[in-house]
Structures are given as structure tokens and as C-alpha cells.
Amino acid sequence: MNWAVTTYDSAFGYVSAHGAPLVDLLDPQPGERVIDLGCGTGSFSAEIAERGAEVLGIDGSPEMVAQATAMHPGLSFVVGDAHDFTVGESFDAVASNAALHWMTRDPDAVIGRVHAALRPGGRFVGELGGAGNCAELIVAMQTAWRVFGLGEPELPWYFPSPAAYATKLEEAGFTLRLLEHADRPTRMTEGPGGAADWVRAYASRALADVPPELVDPLLDRVNDLAAPALRRESGWVADYVRLRFAAVRRSDGAAPTPFGPMAADLPL
């Protein structure tokens, strides 16, 4: 799968590692004001701040914000819901790394709040799980739940297609500069339990209604089902598919320009 248009720290350790290229795409400049939306423990915020920008990290989890504040005492972090946050001044950019797919209640509202937080010409840069993300893991979960006579597992993510997300951005008042949708198989370097550990870490909500005595055998079955596709000699691999984008807030009243010019021609 490869679709492109050019115009919180975890035990698995890949979220922060994959943030660096996103910082390059954002290209924060000294003195710019940038929001890190869904900042988690603040690692991505710190990378942005290293470029000289003034960063405000926003996350819906008080625990995450507390950790971020403790780990990065020189930066600003606040608790806020991405669906309805407000800021007193306009920002130059909003960035989000591996967080937007957790904001499931109303993705359009999230994009709308980002638009409201930006000055005209401000940048919205992000990376999230795209359509097809975790497909093998999800199928293994759904099959295991059925084998054990359980209802469909509750999945806490939003994985949009490139076309769907491009439409949302354009309709919300953004001009899209870049959109990439590509496979990114990622080693579970610190998840020795494989798919079972992944479910415990990222889909714990699905386990909430499972009888305690069934959890371990259920997750053993998930591992059995996922292993043919995801277990290698070198270890387990998660079947990630990433959607990366860069967009610019249009001036109020400006007409939309589908997909915009080439990214190489117009700086963000």
C-alpha cells in the first residue's frame, strides 16, 4: 500500500523514534508558536522546542500532562480536549504525532479547533494511523473474540483513508500541501508477548468487559492468529500504516484549492 499526493512514550519505543522526520516536515522556526496536540509525555514537544520554537503541549490525560511537565520543566503543558480546546492567541503551527487516531468522538471538530487556533497561513502537520493500520492485529482480535463467544471488541481508533482525510481538511478551510499513506511495519522491540502485549497496551478498552479468567487464554489465541503474518525470526512486527499530511490554513474567504501546489514549490 502506498498512496501519496504531493502538492506518549510507550514500552515499544517507536512513537518518539518516528517523530523526528515529522519535525523536519513541520520545520519549526525560532520564535514561532507551536501547539503539540496530543502531546503525551512531551517528547515530540521537546524536539520542536529544540528548534527554537515556543511550544504548548495539549493532552486530554492529566497523567500524561503531569509526566510531561516533570520530564520537561522548561516547556508548557496543559490538559485539554482536542475536540473543544481554545487558545487566547493565534499560533503559527499545530503539529500532532501518533495522536489524532485516538481522537474518535468527532474528527471534524478536532480539525475545526486546529483551524481556529491558527493564524491565516498557519501550518497543520501531523501523522496518524491511516486506513489499513493494524489490519492483521485487528483481524486476530476480532477472530479470537468470536472463538471465545464474546461480542465484537471495542476498538478505540479512527484510521481514515487518504481521500476522506483530505476532504475533511479542505472542507475545514485548509489547503493541502502534502499527503502520504504508506506501510510502516514496526518491530515490537520491547513487547516480548507479541500481539498480546500490543493489545494490553493499546486496546485495553477491549479487555474491560472480558471475564478475568478468559483474558490470558484469549490473548494467547490472538498471538496464535497473528503469528503467521506478524512474527518473524527477529521478533514481532506490528503492521502499521501511516497517514502523514501537511496543510496550511487558508485566509478567511479564500477559495479551496484541491491538494494545492507541489510541496517542493511552496514552503510550509
Cell of 110: 478536532
74 has a pLDDT exceeding 80 = yes
Instruction: Please give the model's pTM, rounded to 2 decimal places.
Output: 0.85
pLDDT of residue 188: 86
CATH number of the domain at 80, please.
3.40.50.150
Residue 16 lies in a domain: no
Q: Which of 50, 51, 55, 81 is nearest to 68 (CA)?
A: 55
Domain count, the chain: 1
Determine, yes or no, domain membership for 184.
no
In a domain, 232, yes or no: no
Task: Determine, yes or no, domain membership for 27.
Answer: yes
pLDDT tens-digit map of 183-222: 999 998 766 789 999 999 999 999 999 999 999 999 999 9
pLDDT at position 253 is: 53
Q: Can you give the residue range of the structural domain that contains 53?
A: 22-129
Cα–Cα distance measured from residue 173 to residue 115, given in angstroms and rounded to the nearest whole number: 7
Q: Confirm whether 135 is domain-assigned.
A: no
Q: What is the mean pLDDT of the chain?
A: 88
Is position 257 within any domain?
no
How confident is the model over 113-162, as pLDDT tens digits?
999 999 999 999 999 999 999 999 999 999 999 999 999 999 999 999 99
**Computed from CA positions of residues 72, 74, 79, 83, in that sequence, does the dihedral angle turn out positive or negative?**
negative
